[in-house]
Structure 1
Amino acid sequence: MKIKDNITSHFIKYILIFSVILFTSCTEQYVLQSNTFEDILVVNGIITNELRLQEIKVNRTYRLEENKPVFEKGANVYITDNDNTVYEFEEDVDSYISKSAFKAIPGKKYQLNIITKDGKSYSSTPEILTPESEVQVTPIVQTNEGEKGVNINVSSYDPTGQSKFYRYEYDETYKIIAPYWNPNKYIIAPYLTPDGDPDFLVVPRTGETRTCYTTKSLDDLTLKSTVGLTEDRINFPIRYISVKDPILRERYSIIVRQYVQNLASYTYYKTLKDLSISKSILSQTQTGFNYGNLKCNDNPNEKIVGYFEVSSVSSKRIFFNFIDIFPKEANYPPYFIKCNTIEKSNCFKEKGCGGAFIEAYVNSVFYVYYGSTDDNRIYTFVEADCGDCTKFSSNIKPLFWID
C-alpha cells in the first residue's frame, strides 16, 4: 500500500507559488509562466510505525506550463538508523519503495539518504518516531447554513500530553448503483431486414456495469495543534456532506489517517500551507524559502523542497448507509445527473419512425439501452451515466469494502 500523493502535490504547488511571489509584483498584471525557473529536488519522505512497504517520493520541480512533476529516476535511496541498519529502496513507477516491509521503532533515529544518478548526495537530519495517539471517526448529523447534513468528526486524546501536533489525510469511497441499468444491450445485426433496413439484436452485457465505487482524497493540508490547551485533545469536523449529496445515496466509507508530528515538521507544513493559499500570491511580503530538514551534502547552499518525517500514524475507517444516518428522511439524495429517457419507434420508412435514431444511439457512447416494449416496437434509451456506472466510476470493488 502506497502513501498518498497529497503532500507531494502541495510541495509542487508551493514551489510554483514561491516562484510567482519571487518574480512578480501584485501591483502589476502578469501571465503565469515560468520566465525564471529553478530546477529543485522535491522530496516527500515519511516512514511510520506501520509494518509495511514504506515509500519515498523524489521528484523535480516543473514549469507552470507543464502539468505534472518530473520523477527523479535512477537515484539510490536508502534509510539508515543509529544501529547501522540500512533499509534499501528500489525504483517503482513514480516513487521508491522499500525492498522489504519495516516500521519505525520508538527511540531509534532514522536518516534518509539520496544519491541522484548524477552523483549528488542528499541527506536528512536524524529523526525519531513521534508519540502515538489513537484517532476516532464519528458521523454526526448537523445543520449547516440551514441545510441538514453529516459531519465526519475526528477526535483523539493523548493523556500523556506529548503528541500536540497533528496532520490529517482522508480517502472517501462511495458506492454507485446505476438507476437505469439493464442486463442487456442492443447491437447492430450483421445483416439487414427484408426491407433493407438495419436490424438490432439483444445481447447480454459483459462485465459489471451496474455497481461501481469511487474513491477521492482530501486535497488540502489539514493541521491541528493542542499547544496552549489544557488537554492534548483533538475534536473537529474534517468533512461535511449535505443530505442532498449523491455520494450518500447508497453506501459511504471514509478512512482518516492521523499523523503525529514533531514541532519542526508541523512548522514546516504550516508554512507550506500558508504559502499555498491564494492570497499569498497577491501579498507584498517577499517570503523566504521554506527550508526543511534535507540538505545537499555536496553544496549546503542548494535549495531542496520537502521534509523527511518519522511519524506515528493512526487510522480509522467507518461505513454507513444513508438510512443509518437519516432514518426519518423521506427523500434519498438524487443521482449524480438528471436521467432522461428517450423512446423511439423501431421502424425506418413510416412517418414518425425512429430507426435512424435507434441506430445512432446503439453506436453512441453517450446513451445506453434501457428497455423495450414486449413487441419490440418501442425502444427506450437513457444517458450512459444513468445506465452504466463505468462511464464515470470504477466497477472494481475495493478490497476493504464491506456491504
Structure 2
Amino acid sequence: MPINKTILLLIIYFTINSCTEPYILETNTYEEALVVEATITNELKKQEITLTKTSRFEDKETQIEKGADVFITDNTGTRYDFEEESGRYISTIEFQAIPGKEYRLNINTKDGRTIVSTTETLPAINPMQDVKAAVETKDSLRGVAIRVSSYDPTNTAKYYRYEYEETYKIIAPEWRLKKAITIDGVNGADPTLEIIANDPNTRICYSTKKNTEIILTSTNELSEDRVDFVPRFISDQNYIISHRYSILVKQYVENLPAYTYYKTLKKISGTESVLSPLQPGLVIGNLKSVNNPNDKIIGYFDVASVSSKRIYFNYIDLFPTDPLPPYYTQCDEQVLRFCFGAPECYGNELAYYFALNKMTYSLHEGILYHIYPAPCGDCTTIGSNIKPAFWVD
C-alpha cells in the first residue's frame, strides 16, 4: 500500500467556500514526517522497507529518505541489515519471519534521529486454498469476481489483508500492416509522408498494474475462520479482460493491532474527496522516535504470514456469446486531407500526428488519409510489447 499517497489526507485539512473556478491546491502549513512502509513475511526472500517523507500538495515527486541505517533485530540477538537500493532498503541476505520469534525495526536517519518499533511476532499461518474467477453480479453490475477461499481449523488467523497484481493482454483493434511516418521538409518546404511496413510488435501488448487501495476482511465475528472473499471485481465492460487476463493475489494474515491500523487508514484515506466532511488526523502506528517523542512517524512495522496464487482466464471462457468489452479508447475513424494552404487542408496536423505518434494510420486514397487514435493501432502507447516472463497463453 503506497502510504505516502494518502499522507496529505492524514495530516492536512482545509475548507473551500463556494469555489466556482479551478482552485490550485497548495500547502499553507507543512510539517515533515517520516513515512515507513515495512512488512516482513514468512517468505524466504530479501525483505524490503521503504522510507519516504510527507509531501506537499504541489510536490510532483515523492521525497526519499536517503542515507539511513536500517536493520531488524530479533529476540535471539540476530541482526538483519538493509542496504539502500533504488529508493528502497533491501535486506543484505534472504530471511523469513519465524513463528515464536520477536522482531523489532530500527532506523537511524542521516540527520541523527533514531526510530524504533514495538516488538512484533508472526501471526498464524493460513495459506489460501483457492482463487477462482466467477461471473457474478455486484450492485446490479455484471462482471468477474476474483474469489478467494481459505480455512483455518484452529480459528486463530481471523484478520486478513490482500494485495493483487493484474496483467492483461492488449490487442490493438485497428492495427495495420502499413504505417505513415513524417519526413521533414528541407529549407522551409512542407513535410511529406512516407508509407512503410508497420512493426508487428505494436499489435499485441501487455500491461501490469498493482492495487492501490487497502483490502481487508475479518472472520472474527463468524463461527469459524473460513474466508470466502472477493478482493477484486471487474465489470464485464472493462477492456482489461477483453482477451487474456491474469491476477496474482497475495493474502496476508495480520495480528489485531496491524489489522486495526490498516482499517483506520482505509477509513480515513478512502474518502472520495479531500473536501470530505470527514477531516482526518494522524494515524498512530507502532513506530516512535527515541530522540524526540514529538517527531511524527507515519507507518507500521508489520510482520505477517503470506500466501499467493496466480490464475488466468480468457474473456471467451466466461462470456462465450458476448461481444468484447469496449476498447481502452473509442476508435472513431477520421478522414483528413494531406495538403497545405487551402481550405480543409490538414497537412501540418497530420505531419504532427504521425511524427509524435498521436494518431495511427489506416489507409489513404490520394490525399485523403484515414486515421485512428494512436492506441487503436499501436498498443505500445498504453502497454509493453514485452511478454512477461510468467505469462502463459
What residue is the counterpart of 2:385 in the other structure? 395
Q: Which moved more, 1:127-136 or 1:180-189?
A: 180-189
2:309 partner letter: K
- Residue 313 (structure 1) shift: 0.6
Counterparts of residues 1-400 of structure 1 (less than 5 Å): 6-9=1-4, 12-13=5-6, 15-21=7-13, 33-135=26-128, 136-188=130-182, 200-206=193-199, 208-278=201-271, 289-329=282-322, 331-343=323-335, 359=351, 361-371=353-363, 379-400=369-390
Q: C-alpha root-mean-square deviation of aligned residues, in Å? A: 3.3
Residues 160 and 201 from structure 1, CA distance in 2 versus in 1: closer, same or farther, beyond 3 angstroms?
same
Report if the CA contact (8 A) 1:361-1:381 is conserved: no
1:394 partner letter: S
* Structure 1: runs of 5 or more not aligned: 1-5
Q: Which moved more, 1:361-370 or 1:380-389?
A: 361-370
Q: Deviations over 1:157-209 (max 9, x none)?
A: 111111111111112221101111124323356899xxx99765433345721
- Residue 254 (structure 1) shift: 1.1
Q: Aligned equivalents of 2:26 and 2:336: distance in 1?
A: 52
- Residue 353 (structure 1) shift: 8.8
Q: Under a length normalisation based on structure 1, what TM-score does the superposition of the two structures give?
A: 0.84
Percentage identity across paired residues of the two chains: 46
Q: Deviations over 1:190-241 (max 9, x none)?
A: 899xxx9976543334572111112222221111111121001111222222
Report if the CA contact (8 A) 1:140-1:151 is conserved: yes
Residues 306 and 368 from structure 1, CA distance in 2 versus in 1: closer, same or farther, beyond 3 angstroms?
same
* Structure 2: runs of 5 or more not aligned: none
Residues 273 and 188 from structure 1, CA distance in 2 versus in 1: closer, same or farther, beyond 3 angstroms?
closer
Q: Which moved more, 1:179-188 or 1:380-389?
A: 179-188
Q: Aligned equivalents of 2:338 and 2:276: distance in 1?
A: 61
Q: Aligned equivalents of 2:248 and 2:141: distance in 1?
A: 25
Residues 205 and 34 from structure 1, CA distance in 2 versus in 1: closer, same or farther, beyond 3 angstroms?
same
Secondary structure of the residue that 2:12 maps to in structure 1? helix
Q: Aligned equivalents of 2:27 and 2:48: distance in 1?
A: 30
Report the number of matched residues.
386
